[in-house]
Amino acid sequence: MVEGKMSAASTILLSAFVPYQTSALLEWLAYHRLIGANRIRLFLDRRQRGRQPLIAALERARIVETEYVVPDHEPEEEIRNSALWAAEREHQETDGFGLFITPEEFLVLGPEARTIGDLMVSASAPDVLTAPVRVYGPGGRIQHTPGAVLPGAHLHGPASTAANDGDLRSIVRLGLFRGRNPAIPTGPPSRGQREDLAWVNGTGRTVPTPRSMIAWREMPEIMNTDGATVARISAPSVETLLLRVHMLPEKLRPSRDALLDRIDTLSKADVGDSTLTDMGETVAEEVGRLSALSGVADAQAAQCENELTRISDLRATSSLFREVIEQCTGKQLPPSSGPTGPPEAAAKTRKAQKPRQPDAEEDTTPPTPPPWFAEIHTGGDRQGFFTRLANHAVLCIRRDPGTLVVSFDNLSNVNDLSFSREPWAYKFVRDNGASHLAVMARRKDWYRDPQLIGELERLAAGGLFEEFDRVLMTGTSMGGFAALAFASLAPGCTVMSFNPQTTLDENLVPWEKRFGMGRRRNWSLPYSDCAFEIDEVEKAFVFYDPFFEPDRRHIERLEGDNVIPLKTWCSGHFSPVFLRRANLLKPVMQHALDDTLTPAIFYALFRGRRYLPWYRNSLESNLIERGHDQLAQRVTPAFRALRRRATRKRQAAE
């Protein structure tokens, strides 16, 4: 293919993370198919497997490709994770372009383009086209209408250009970048230098350097909305916004005042924008074609009914819902004759009243046993046990009689009740042939459970830990707390604790305002303060970001020559994720398992974070927040120089 040209067979790969199925998804797919997306890959929360019949029907019809992924324990990180997954898949392709957006976003083409291919050809087929995100609001719409959101889009135009959030999305040449964040591609390209790339904005004009989100947000060249843009329609109506808020974990739901402020801001945005509605008729026709596929129409109808039912339940049971609606309309809602319990209870009542009918499309394939079960079941080749407690489970697999790894799950695993669930660090421990005692949690209780504590004390009293030459306890956040808190049960053990809390007892750490569910647990139980449980530990490696004050204050409570703090600068509360993305987590854990980890070795390895875009962005932000703007401006050039040296060194070695 000639450089700068696109063939009719060129791939236009659209990728998105879909946390849960909505009735607007069908329109989103139809719209992007019409503008040229000929491959659509959806990354799905593996906890939703079997619960998304519309997506399942579309996959069977080969409209979408799906990939189930492990969710992050911080939902706001999901979009960053899925962008990285998308980049890995894009790098495996060679012909065409890839776009990463969310299911609430629609790519709006420039005035001269009818398809994504037209857009890229008109811009001389650049390597990257970066367009601003324009945020749309509900205008005056209150009532949720399932299905299409585009018919009312002209009512929700942004009050200004892209100044809403200063966010960006990028169309990237396939096979060129191995990484991307949600806004732009990251890391060195697979050919040439980053400075040599043909990188344009939505109008097709070359964008300036440095290519930094922090710098770009202040540049009108980037935020120009005369060409291609991305329309984010997360709130087509007030009720829709409230429904989506209700889908969030409780700790992430905004307060009534925050919701009202958000709705007020969005409702003021009322600039006419017919760009999206001009395609209304053709999009509706494409939705009709998709609905004619086997199982799609029934699944879409069920999704629409489900949303209306949930809205009805929220009207009846949610004081927040009623207050926001009454505030927006200035009218008091009439008393509801609906269910009086929470929506979940109402759903159970309806289920009891209406016998469940078998779903002809339902997957009846038995679930595959998890690998750990295969090791210890009757036909397996390992000894061990699995003990199911009320709120936890304890799994033991005996492999190496010399080394036992004790792992504690973190918050991200709590809601995973699937048969395929694996303990934290399972694959790493298995691949090293070490024995494994895994404690798995079913609730966010920081292991403050008398039954679990009694079980761990019983195992210790029975001599389990004394059977092994070395015991390594590990976990992150809630699991990091547990690794330190229960270390006294195995005197002489080594601990690897990532971003731990030392306690959530408000009498001891009154400054800790995170983890509301954890702080409400019973902190009068034994093993509730790590500072008193590590005296007999041989070495306690504690990983944390010194720039992140809440974690740093916990680490400062730990005393003793056996405590070895290891600083993971600019990682926030996500040291293991940061290390994994820098390809450092396994090497660090391997050194700990081999009893060779030292601060010198760790910091030598940690130099590898210099090539991680996350580190660069966080470093820039930290410097700016601390008033070092001139230093921040030197970060990106320094990163470029590092990449150039690394490239030359690699080329010389080849």
Tokens of 32: 């992007």
pLDDT tens across 610-646, in order?
666 666 666 666 667 667 777 767 766 777 676 667 6
Q: Look at 104 and 638; give whichever has higher pLDDT.
A: 104
| Window from 110-114, 232-236, 350-354, 529-533 with minimum mean pLDDT | 350-354
What does the mean pLDDT of the chain come to?
A: 83
| Window from 156-165, 199-208, 616-625 with minimum mean pLDDT | 156-165
CA angle 4, 6, 11 (to 5 degrees): 130
pLDDT of residue 269: 55
B/e letters for 267-300, b = 16+ CB within 10 Å, e = fewer, are bebbeebebbbebbeebeebbeebeeeebbbbbb
**CA 217 to mean position of chain CA atoms:** 23
pLDDT of residue 268: 62
User: What is the CATH number that goes with domain 371-611?
Assistant: 3.40.50.1820
pLDDT tens across 437-446, in order?
999 998 899 9
The percentage of residues in the chain with a pLDDT greater than 90, rounded to a whole number, is: 44
The string of DSSP codes covering 256-297 is HHHHHHHHHHHHT--B---TTGGGHHHHHHHHHHHHTSTTHH
How many other C-beta atoms lie within 10 A of the C-beta of residue 595?
13
Q: Average pLDDT for residues 471-492, to the nearest whole number? A: 97
pLDDT of residue 382: 93
Indicate if the pLDDT at residue 280 is higher than 80: no
pLDDT tens across 396-430, in order?
999 998 999 999 999 877 877 777 889 999 999 99
Q: Look at 77 and 407; give whichever has higher pLDDT.
A: 407
Highest mean pLDDT pick, 68-82, 270-284, 484-498 = 484-498
B/e letters for 440-468, b = 16+ CB within 10 Å, e = fewer, are bbbebbbbbbeebbebbeebbeeebbeeb
How many other C-beta atoms lie within 10 A of the C-beta of residue 559?
10
Q: With bands split at pLDDT 50, 70 and 90, how would you rate the model's confidence at 7?
A: low
Q: Average pLDDT for residues 46-75, to the nearest whole number? A: 85
Q: Average pLDDT for residues 200-229, to the nearest whole number? A: 77
Tokens of 130: 């970066």
| Window from 120-124, 279-283, 450-454 with minimum mean pLDDT | 279-283
Residues 6+ apart with CB under 8 A from 43: 15, 16, 17, 18, 66, 67, 68, 69, 82, 85, 86
SS3 call for 106:
strand
pLDDT of residue 34: 93
Indicate if the pLDDT at residue 354 is higher than 70: no
Q: Look at 450 and 612; give whichever has higher pLDDT.
A: 450
Pairing of strands 105-108, 229-232: antiparallel
Cα–Cα separations (whole angstroms), residue 186 to 2, 45, 160, 191, 343: 25, 24, 28, 14, 42
pLDDT of residue 372: 93
Q: Look at 654 and 43; give whichever has higher pLDDT.
A: 43
Maximum distance among all Cα pairs of the chain, rounded to whole angstroms: 76
pLDDT of residue 341: 40
The answer to whether residues 465 and 490 touch, using CB atoms and an 8 Å cutoff, is yes
CA angle 540, 404, 591 (to 5 degrees): 55
pLDDT tens across 331-343, in order?
666 655 444 344 4
pLDDT tens across 556-568, in order?
999 999 999 999 9
What sections of 472-610 are H helices per DSSP? 478-485, 516-519, 549-555, 575-581, 585-593, 599-606
pLDDT tens across 125-159, in order?
899 999 988 888 777 788 888 888 887 665 554 44
SS3 call for 470:
strand
Indicate if the pLDDT at residue 323 is higher than 90: no
